[in-house]
Structure 1
Amino acid sequence: MINQIKYKRVLLKLSGEILMGDQKYGHDSKAIEKVANDIKQVHDMGVQICLVVGGGNIYRGVSGAAAGMERSTADHMGMIATVMNALALQYYLEQKQIKTRVLSAIPMMTICEPYVRRRAMRHMEKGRVVIFAAGTGNPFFTTDTAASLRAIEMGCDALLKGTQVDGVYNSDPKKNKDASRFERITYKEVLTNDLTVMDASAISLARENNLPIIVFSLHKQGAFAEAMQHQGNFTIIEG
């Protein structure tokens, strides 16, 4: 199976909503356990893995700003939510004997390490899963952009985004039963057609650095490993 792996070092981007399962808020232990199992399966293949997780299951900066809060403050609150999610993922991964490190773009020395690129690289070289928390550390940037940035900084072969659907569609498949999924699509087509799989900054950054983006659904157990081998349903954004 290892010989079939297409990438040796990857970044997995997770939405915070994945961690809340069927709940309306917070964490669902079964959902996090499922994600941890998927990560372990790929880790056991010898792949170096780093993660970026959103905070939407706890707090969204954009929503806070829309409600009248100053945007920088709201975004910083959202960054703190991503740290909470990163710590939860770390716990469940380490329960599976996977050494994991959380590195935060906002220094929080008592609970995790500050983000230092060389330190993160060294952790990955030692086979540890690295979770990047607090986005880029700056307001007005999403965790999608943070995922593209960290993947490029880490020299990843690909960025994999685990979502609610199994790829990029020409319209919302939850609203349009006739929506069709792309097998492959270019960065330019995603931007031109305003496909909302990731924000424009994240796509543009990936495009400038020739970073392939693979979009797949995390709802299917083992889909992460399948995508790593170009099996199952997914969409590749490149070119």
Structure 2
Amino acid sequence: MKDCILITGASSGIGMELAKLFAKDGHDLVLVARHNDKLKEIEKDLEDEFGINVMTISKDLSIPSASDEIFDELERNSVDIEILVNNAGFGSYGAFVKTDLKTSLEMIEVNVSALTHLTRLFLPSMIEKGHGKILNVASLAAFPPGPYMNVYYSTKAYVLSFSVALNEELKGTGVQVTVLCPGPTDTNFQKRIGLTSAETFSIKSMSAQRVAEIGYKGLKDGKLIVIPGFINKLTAFGLRFVPKKTAAHFVAIGQISRK
């Protein structure tokens, strides 16, 4: 398989919707997620509907060896990755001192370490070929500090900074980095972290399909930072002029009001 698209966190939400968009355009896919049964369903659906080749890999990216195992499996099967989509990620809610340490460390492993690891593994071949794309999924949470979701917000700030800096390093190589920063999105995210509302900064949620469409277009158009939704863009822009301490205070008020 040549010029494939590798998508992590592909069994639901934005990752699954991105897989559908790439498949519709005729791209072969490598889909990675923890839930093998769901991956197999998606594999069959996409192959039947779009006539593409889909390879699925069931891995838990919170395990440090997972990224190397994915890379090695693709190497053994002579699978060439043209576009890497680092979409996998999760969050948790609560005061940092009361949150489960194991969960926080696993979050860093998935949201930061695996993203960095996979990028480092697949980037050299892209540079050697003189073309390739990387789509990293961050969040509107990348812009302010995030009390009561401290580690999650911090991981997304890393993804944003890492992506922008890496894109600068890659000028002239033919490899492009795009970072997608969605606001509240209708996925399983809120349910998993235990929030009672899907809102952040009182912004209405967007569908995962719409977020994926905007991110996909941004990637194709060569944009660096993609923020879906006018209000989300306005929020991100406004946060540039708000002191970090003030932003943290208002985020904290919003988080407390949702519990």
Category of TM-score, reference length = shorter chain: 0.3 to 0.5
> TM-score under structure 1 normalisation?
0.41
> TM-score under structure 2 normalisation?
0.39
Higher helix fraction: Structure 1 or Structure 2? 2
Higher relative contact order (CA 8 A, sep 6+): 1
Compare CA radii of gyration and give the structure with the larger one: 2
